[in-house]
Amino acid sequence: MRRFLIDTDTASDDAVAIVMALQHPDVHVEALTVVAGNVGLDQAVQNALYTVELCGKETPVYAGRAQPIMRTLETAQSIHGHDGMGDCGLPLHGRTPATGRGVDVIVDTILGSPGEVTLVCLGPLSNVAAAVLRAPEITEAVERVVIMGGTGVHGPGNVSAMAEFNFWADPEAAAIVTASGMPLEFVGWDISITSAIVTQERHDAMLAIGTPLARFGVDIAQAVRRFALEHGMEGDDLPDPIAMAHAIDPSVAEISRLNVKVMFGDGGQRGVMEVDRMGFVGGEPNVDIVTHYPSDHFFELLFDAYRT
């Protein structure tokens, strides 16, 4: 049984990724720690609690940071909808998170089981960076750190020409985590737009599954889907779910291990990945960057979760 700790800024694609982990027979989700990102912290906490309840689980949900390390939060509600879950009328309020701070839970869970916990990061890295600064020893104790973030080796940005939202929203946190020495595996937005697009055919196949979880996954994505179709894409993409697929089954991924830094500051460099593609200008390689993840395998894992 693999042990996952999931850090999330729970909006629609995070929720689908959480469903994939909660419903996978070989994964035990220790806890969800929530960070502000797609939506404000309180809404992200409610979205996470709703998703856990929908899956019929008792997984504890902890509130983490409400702000980036050094900046004011800028959300992605223009993409995901005001509630982050497609504004489709779900009752995303009134649930109570577990007592405790998300950053402390990250530290305590990893140090409590050295070498056994995979940290899956689905949002800005504010909680994870704070945990590394509070307890650097987690960098040696964590088994794997799978991060949905960045733009891969060559990918485009989605919040600026060169930057992906999770790294852009809190670039200082992304820089701290990238330089931390943890066993990092990046699944960038490039992988999402090449291997995780919900085409009309896949959308219809999801609806045909007919289960409450499949219906949920389709309904909460409607805001992102509308945005994607209006901007010339073949459908909404699923960045957090394909990162979760890699966390669940890394065996089918193609990887490049390179030196990566994340730039901070403002303007066009904010949150941009500086990747030493030549392997001799940037220093020791520190990140396994996923350069390909088979689309069919990803959708098999996703549909398996939806069928539960």
Interacting residues toward Ca ion by CB under 5 A: 9, 14, 122-123, 240
What is the Cα–Cα distance from 71 to 88, expressed in whole angstroms? 30
Using CB distances below 5 to 8 A depending on partner kind, what does residue 189 bind out of ligand RIB, Ca ion, none?
A: ligand RIB
CB under 6 A: which stretch of 158-166, 173-181, 202-210, 262-270 binds ligand RIB?
158-166
Give the strand pairing for 260-262 and 273-275.
antiparallel
- Residue 177 as a binder of ligand RIB (CB under 6 A): the answer is no
Q: Does 118 bind ligand RIB (CB under 6 A)?
A: no
Tell me how far, at minimum, the Cβ of 271 lies from ligand RIB, in Å. 10
- 164 counts as binding ligand RIB under rule CB under 6 A: yes
Query: Contact between 190 and ligand RIB (CB under 6 A)?
Result: no
Q: Is the Cβ of residue 86 or residue 239 nearer to ligand RIB in the bound state?
A: 239
| 38 within 8 A of 80, measured Cβ to Cβ | yes
- 72 Ramachandran zone, left/alpha/beta (phi>0; psi -120 to 50): beta
Q: Identify the H or E element spanning 292.
A: strand 287-292
3-class SS of residue 147 = strand
Q: Does 30 bind ligand RIB (CB under 6 A)?
A: no
9: annotated active-site residue? yes
Q: Which is nearer to ligand RIB, 128 or 141 (CB)?
A: 128
Q: Single out the segment in contact with ligand RIB by CB under 6 A; choices: 21-29, 46-54, 138-146, 157-165.
A: 157-165
Contacts of 280 (CB under 8 A, 6+ apart): none
Q: Are 27 and 114 in contact (CB under 8 A)?
A: no
Span near ligand RIB by CB under 6 A; candidates 85-93, 159-167, 211-219, 296-304: 159-167
Q: What angle do CA 140, 142, 148 make, to 5 degrees?
A: 120
Residues 38-57 that bind ligand RIB (CB under 6 A): 38
Q: Which residue, 185 or 240, is less far from ligand RIB as judged by CB?
A: 240
Q: How far is CA 15 from CA 111, 208, 276, 306, in A?
A: 26, 20, 33, 12
CA distance 70 to 266: 12
State both tokens at 173. Answer: 């946190």
For the chain, the residue count is 308
Considering the rule CB under 6 A, would residue 126 count as an interface residue with ligand RIB?
A: no
151 lies in the site for ligand RIB, by CB under 6 A? no
| Cα atoms found within 13 Å of the Cα of residue 9, Cβ hemisphere only | 34
Whether the Cβ atoms of residue 294 and residue 252 lie closer than 8 Å to each other: yes
Cβ atoms of 47 and 11 closer than 8 Å: yes
CB 11 within 8 A of CB 44: yes
* Residue 178 binding ligand RIB, by CB under 6 A: no
Of 175 and 187, nearer to Ca ion (C-beta) is 187
Q: Give residues 231-260 in contact with ligand RIB (rule: CB under 6 A).
A: 239-240
- Which partner from the list ligand RIB, Ca ion, none does 238 bind, CB cut-off 5 to 8 Å by kind? none
Q: Of the candidates 43, 126, 127, 158, which one interacts with ligand RIB according to CB under 6 A?
A: 158
7, 9, 170, 288: the catalytic one is 9
**Position of minimal CB gap to ligand RIB:** 165
Q: What is the set of active-site residues?
A: 9
Binding stretches for ligand RIB (CB under 6 A): 9, 11, 13-14, 37-38, 76, 122-123, 148, 158, 164-166, 189, 239-240
